[in-house]
């Protein structure tokens, strides 16, 4: 099996259709993967044609970056390396080692470069907004690092659409390096990025990486079987089967898994791929990476995609639902005859 590749947003960067998240590389959090198995996971991903590696300074308190740096060193120029900053690389990072200030940005990048044993980071994500650092400080700080050659492409992770759009507009107005990409949670159980973040990314032609395509493990069906997974290791589950909608989604995933003879997790990732998204997988074991990668060759029928999309439907809310009521009048009563552009307007 070989993964396919896509051009990443408004860049000329070529990345594999599935990205490898390495949050489980290491055991600094008390839960994760030891070095030997992590290297096997990395090797399996590369053997399948994967070239997009995603880590963060905070993952396993720096152990993930250290492992990734060692694994990619013999083939550094063949992989697209992404890392993140905001949370610090250890619990004692303190006021000056966390957040999104220019000081924290520069300090974090210098530390990540040492752990990764490389002279550049291909994509640097601002991991989370800190609620205080102005977006112009973030955008200009990222531009400075691009000009210095320490990072190549800036990205924003878990940011609201309006802040990303502001960063893109400021960069265009001032001639700074543009924000190239966004990273966001997206799965059958978490589709609310379709309200604002994804349309914004499409309008600005930003690359979009979607994390947790398995809904924190919920969509594998393992919690119904009594397995604990990350609930035992990290003390939290991103999504639990806590309402009728999630139950209906999981029921449909399990039904299609039975029809196809494929594991439920593969169904969930295949749906994300069918939606044209780039999923970021985060396997903890060699078996998990094998299952995750197999989803790239699983083609759901249009009817199966529709069933999953219908089961996971959610209200878009205001203003989207109000705007939908005037689609006909605003097109002069000719909406059915009007050919609209494929890309979202900005």
pLDDT for the residue 231: 55
Q: Is the pLDDT of residue 236 over 70?
A: no
pLDDT for the residue 92: 86
Q: Are 23 and 15 in contact (CB under 8 A)?
A: no
Instruction: Name the residue among 124, 228, 134 with its Cα closest to residue 177.
Output: 124
Instruction: Name the residue among 172, 157, 260 with its Cα closest to residue 208.
Output: 157
Instruction: Name the residue among 101, 207, 81, 58 with its Cα closest to residue 152.
Output: 81
Q: Is the pLDDT of residue 235 over 70?
A: no
Taking only the tens place, the pLDDT of each residue in 266-319 is 999 999 999 999 999 999 999 999 999 999 999 999 999 999 999 999 999 999
pLDDT for the residue 233: 53
pLDDT for the residue 346: 73
Instruction: Name the residue among 116, 79, 98, 269 with its Cα closest to residue 187.
Output: 269
- Size of the chain in residues: 346
Question: Could you say which of 59, 153, 186, 223 is catalytic?
Answer: 59
Three-state secondary structure call for residue 123: strand
Please state, as a whole number, how many other Cβ atoms lie within 10 Å of the Cβ of residue 187: 26
On average, the pLDDT of the chain sits at 94
pLDDT for the residue 134: 97
User: What residues have CB less than 8 Å from 54, skipping those under 6 apart?
Assistant: 19, 20, 21, 22, 82, 83, 209, 280
pLDDT for the residue 205: 95
Q: Give the architecture (CATH level 2) of 5-314.
A: Alpha-Beta Barrel (3.20)
How far, in Å, CA of 309 to CA of 254, rounded?
14
CA distances from 268 to 60, 281, 291, 311, 315 (A): 26, 11, 11, 12, 21
Q: pTM (2 decimals)?
A: 0.94
Residue 186 among the catalytic residues: no
Cis peptide upstream of residue 97 (ω within 30 degrees of 0): no
Taking only the tens place, the pLDDT of each residue in 196-207 is 999 999 999 999
pLDDT for the residue 343: 66
Q: Is the pLDDT of residue 111 over 90?
A: yes
pLDDT for the residue 96: 87
């Amino acid at each position: 099996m070989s993964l396919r590749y896509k051009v990443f947003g408004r860049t000329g960067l070529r990345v594999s259709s599935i990205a490898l998240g390495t949050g489980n590389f290491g055991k600094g959090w008390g839960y994760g993967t030891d070095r030997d198995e992590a290297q096997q996971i990395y090797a399996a991903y590369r053997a399948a044609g994967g070239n997009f590696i995603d880590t963060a300074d905070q993952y396993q308190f720096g152990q993930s970056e250290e492992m990734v740096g060692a694994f990619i060193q013999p083939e550094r120029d063949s992989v697209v390396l992404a890392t993140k900053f905001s949370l610090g690389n250890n619990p004692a990072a303190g006021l000056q080692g966390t957040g999104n200030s220019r000081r924290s940005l520069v300090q974090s990048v210098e530390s990540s470069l040492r752990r990764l044993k490389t002279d550049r980071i291909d994509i640097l994500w601002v991991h989370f907004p800190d609620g205080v650092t102005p977006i112009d400080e973030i955008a200009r700080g990222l531009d400075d690092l691009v000009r210095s050659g320490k990072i190549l492409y800036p990205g924003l992770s878990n940011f609201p659409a309006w802040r990303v759009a502001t960063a893109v507009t400021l960069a265009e107005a001032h001639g700074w390096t543009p924000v190239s990409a966004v990273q966001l949670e997206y799965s059958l159980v978490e589709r609310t990025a379709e309200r604002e973040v994804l349309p914004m990314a499409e309008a600005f032609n930003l690359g979009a990486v979607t994390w947790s395509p398995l809904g924190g493990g919920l969509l594998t069906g393992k919690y119904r079987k009594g397995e604990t997974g990350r609930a035992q290791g990290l003390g939290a589950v991103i999504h639990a089967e806590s309402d009728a909608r999630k139950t209906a989604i999981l029921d449909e995933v399990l039904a299609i898994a039975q029809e196809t003879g494929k594991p439920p997790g593969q169904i969930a990732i295949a749906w994300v791929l069918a939606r044209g998204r780039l999923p970021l997988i985060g396997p903890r074991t060699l078996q998990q990476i094998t299952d995750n990668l197999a989803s790239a060759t699983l083609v759901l029928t249009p009817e199966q995609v529709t069933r999953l999309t219908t089961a996971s439907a959610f209200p878009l809310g205001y203003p989207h639902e109000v705007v939908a009521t005037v689609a006909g009048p605003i097109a002069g009563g000719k909406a059915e005859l009007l050919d609209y552009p494929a890309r979202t307007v900005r």
